[in-house]
Amino acid sequence: MSENVVRRPFFTWLSTVMGVAFYACAMGAAVFMRDDGYAPPLVVATFVVFLWMTGWHSAIRFTDSHLIVTNIVVTSTVAWSGVARITADDGLCIRLRDERELGSIAFGGSLIGAFTGYPTYEKALRILCKAHKKARRGGKWDGTVQLRRSVRWRQLCAAAALIYGPLLIVLAVSG
């Protein structure tokens, strides 16, 4: 069962470019600011982890049977049978059958979007509505909505290792 991912391209790439730039600053600080200690590069690297979590890690994923919404650290998983509808009213909104809402940081509401009708969300809305419609064809739609919240700690640990590992090596070698 493959997992499909829906992201906002501009939001993702802007945070990636900013993350790379800040990571270069952290590495430069680690090499050239040896007398200032470890704090400046580690603080900048922490900001890089935050940029990764908001821009790349925060996304809407789905399979044939489930919808998965990741917002920074918390991941919400619900079966398609628990989803009532998906709209782009105040950002991308996933309304569950029990009237709870799942929102996404990446597809959140904005003042400009309120005036323009969120045209940049149309592709994501179309993809998710198509997946929801496909899941509804063969699904059972009764019972309670099971919403499970979790932390995708493996991805968070891998990102932290990729960001802090080389930085700590540079700090150890240059110190």
**Which DSSP category does 64 fall into?**
S
> How does pLDDT run across 114-149, given as a tens digit for each residue?
888 888 889 999 999 999 999 888 666 666 788 899
User: Are the C-beta atoms of 147 and 78 separated by less than 8 Å?
Assistant: yes
d(CA 19, CA 64): 32
pLDDT tens-digit readout, 2-46: 899 999 888 889 999 999 999 999 988 888 876 777 788 888 899
Query: Beta-strand (E) ranges in 2-130?
Result: 4-6, 60-62, 66-71, 74-79, 83-87, 93-96, 101-103
Residue 98 contacts residue 85 (beta carbons within 8 Å): no
